[in-house]
Structures are given as C-alpha cells and as structure tokens.
Amino acid sequence: MVEVVVERNYTDGIITRFQDAFPEQIPDKSFSSQWTTFITQLNQMFSEAETFSYVCVLEGLLSALTLYSLPLFYETKAKKKFKEIREFLDTSNKTIFSPKGMELCDPFANGLLFLKIIVHNGAR
C-alpha cells in the first residue's frame, strides 16, 4: 500500500490550490489525463468557493444587520459551493480512483493541507 501526498500550491497566496503535477508515486501512468482533469476542476471549484464578489458583500452585510439570523434560513453561496466540492470529491473517488484501485482521502479532515491518495496493492 502506497500513500501519495499532493501538497498545496501557495504561489498565488493562501487561496486553496493543490499542486497539479501528476504524482510520480502513482504506478498507473495512463491515469495522467484523468488526474489533470480532476485536479484542474478541483482547483477551479475551490477558487469559485473562495472568490470574493458583490454577492459576498451583500450576504455579509445582510447577515450582520440581521444579527446572523439570516444564515438560519438562507444558505450562502460559499456554503453551497463547498457542498458541491464535497460531492465532487465523493463522486471522483467512486468513478475515477476506485476503478484504478486507489482511494482518495477526505482533504477536509486534514484541514485542506494536502490531498492523500492511497494506492492499494495490485493497482495497475
């Protein structure tokens, strides 16, 4: 069993972004194109979830003025985006990683510090 760790990419600041280079420890080299699609989409989704826009300002302002009773009824855009990210990670694990004998661990459990992929024995 091999544990592959993909670190964060901090070159553009502390926005959540993972290194997009294909991890060398993954034995199946034909996985490269699927990896690129996956990591590009993941970074794009994080970028959208953490983006700052007029919607953010409006939501923040209304939340503060209503003494944070607004978030009880209304799901903010960022919260929706993070939900989509979790679903995307779950789906990717089932459709991309599992068929190749790999397991994508939940990055939220480690505080989005790294992506851990477990390559099970006999994965080719």
Partner 1 sequence: MTGKKKYETWPGKNHIFCHGRLMAGGGSRGWFWFTHVLFIIPAVLFSVDVCPWLAREISPAVVVIFAWLTLACVVFFYMAAFSDPGITPRQATRPKKRGPSILKIDVNGVRLKMKFCETCNIYRPPRTSHCSVCDNCIDRFDHHCPWIGNCIGKRNYHLFLLFVFTITIQCFYVLSFSLVKIVFMATKDGRSGIDSFTYIWADSPLVIPIALFMFIVTILVCSLASFHLFLIATGQTTYEKLKKVYKTQQNPFTKGPLMNFVHLLFQPWSPAYIHLLDEDETTRVTTENATSAVPVIDSLEVIS
Q: Which residues bind partner 1 (CB under 8 A)?
A: 5, 8, 10-14, 49-52, 56-57, 59-61, 64, 67-68, 76-79, 82, 108-113
Cα–Cα distance measured from residue 70 to residue 42, given in angstroms and rounded to the nearest whole number? 29
Radius of gyration of the chain (CA): 17
- Shortest Å distance, C-beta 92 to partner 1: 18
Residues facing residue 5 across a β-bridge = 116
- Shortest Å distance, C-beta 96 to partner 1: 23
Residue 34 near residue 15, CB atoms below 8 Å = no
Q: Which parts of the chain fold into alpha helices (H)?
A: 32-49, 54-65, 77-92
Q: Looking at beta carbons only, is 77 or 100 nearer to partner 1?
A: 77
Q: Looking at beta carbons only, is 86 or 120 nearer to partner 1?
A: 86
Residue 105 near residue 118, CB atoms below 8 Å = yes
Q: Looking at beta carbons only, is 64 or 95 nearer to partner 1?
A: 64
- Shortest Å distance, C-beta 58 to partner 1: 8
